[in-house]
Amino acid sequence: MSDLTGSPAEPPAEAPPTCPRHPKEVAYVRCQRCERPTCPACQRPASVGIQCVDCVKEQQRSTPAMRSVFGGRAVQGRPIITIGIIAICVVVWVGQLASDRVTSDLAFAPFVGDNEPWRFLTAAFVHQPDWPMHILFNMYALWICGQYLEPLLGRLRFVALYLIAALGGSVGYLMLASVPSVGEDWRGTGWFTPTVGASGAVFGLFAAVVVLNRHLGRDVTPMLLMIAINAAIPFFVDGIAWQAHVGGAITGAAVAGIIAALGRERRQLHWGALGGVLVVLVILAVVRYQTVSLPPELTGLG
């Protein structure tokens, strides 16, 4: 067929291909897997050619997750949980500098722990506002241990270890705190002395490194030396809550021992077993509060 001039009719121009996710974007590159057009924003480099973001996500869902030696999801790159905990502690410390209320509301002391149980955990994110070395040392120790343990355990198991050890540190302080007797100045006893700091949780990480490295057949001498040095400091420096160190270390060793004993093959049992550790800590705290007998003149202070 010809038009009025007698020249042949031209077929209509074909519309350029567009990206299914971004219909306004012209895309001449096609995914090697589904062969759909994919714009630069949706392109992902593959071993051969380019894949679209949808195919990459589908492949990730169908590919088994890489696991660490202890069953956690394998992670690469920066230890974001460790960095996150450090960031929280620094923000809280800055808040302490701005207001004394932050310290008084978050610190743990046995005489208030039964009515305000969140203090068992929040105390691990609070440090001495007038002594910068307190937070600096704890955060340095957390960084050293965290960047080793976080990829070894996986992020979820690492954060569980840290938080449970922090709770264990407060429970250890509760269990070992001195209780005032009749006529004794209550202000000098551990029961009424607030404690702050991540050192209980950090000692839990120290102990976890020892337990896990022993399980892997690695040298534990440097960490044992670190624990010995820090355990000796309270003998020379007043005002250090060694009871929290003991509680955190025992709890951290227990958590690490459970994870190591169950291993990667029985990783589904990790969480139930760690829940059991939490139950034990709660029972210890409840029993301690039920069995402590304060002098009558002090029973209303809590």
Tell me how far apart the alpha carbons of residues 174 and 302 are, in angstroms, rounded to a whole number. 14
Burial class (CB within 10 angstroms; exposed 0-12, middle 13-18, buried 19+) of 175: middle
Q: What confidence score (pLDDT) does residue 69 get?
A: 73
Q: What confidence score (pLDDT) does residue 57 get?
A: 83
Question: Do the beta carbons of residue 82 and residue 142 sit within 8 Å?
Answer: yes
Note the pLDDT tens digit of each residue in 28-46. 888 888 888 889 888 888 7
Q: With a cut of 80, say whether residue 113 has pLDDT above it.
A: yes
- pLDDT class of 142 with cuts at 50, 70, 90: very high
- Domains of the chain in sequence order: 13-63 (no CATH), 80-298 (1.20.1540.10)
Note the pLDDT tens digit of each residue in 44-77. 887 778 888 888 888 777 655 666 777 777 677 7
Q: With a cut of 70, say whether residue 302 has pLDDT above it.
A: no
Lowest-pLDDT range of 179-188, 236-245, 249-258, 284-293: 179-188
**In this predicted model, which residue has the larger pLDDT, 200 or 11?**
200
Note the pLDDT tens digit of each residue in 218-273. 999 989 998 898 888 888 777 788 999 999 999 999 999 999 999 888 888 999 99
Q: Which percentage of the chain shows pLDDT scores above 90?
A: 56
Tell me how far apart the alpha carbons of residues 116 and 68 are, in angstroms, rounded to a whole number. 37
Q: With a cut of 80, say whether residue 155 has pLDDT above it.
A: yes
Q: With a cut of 50, say whether residue 13 has pLDDT above it.
A: yes
Q: What confidence score (pLDDT) does residue 102 get?
A: 95
Lowest-pLDDT range of 109-113, 160-164, 252-256: 109-113
- Across 17-21, 72-76, 97-101, which has the greatest mean pLDDT? 97-101
Question: Do the beta carbons of residue 205 and residue 159 sit within 8 Å?
Answer: no
Q: With a cut of 60, say whether residue 290 has pLDDT above it.
A: yes
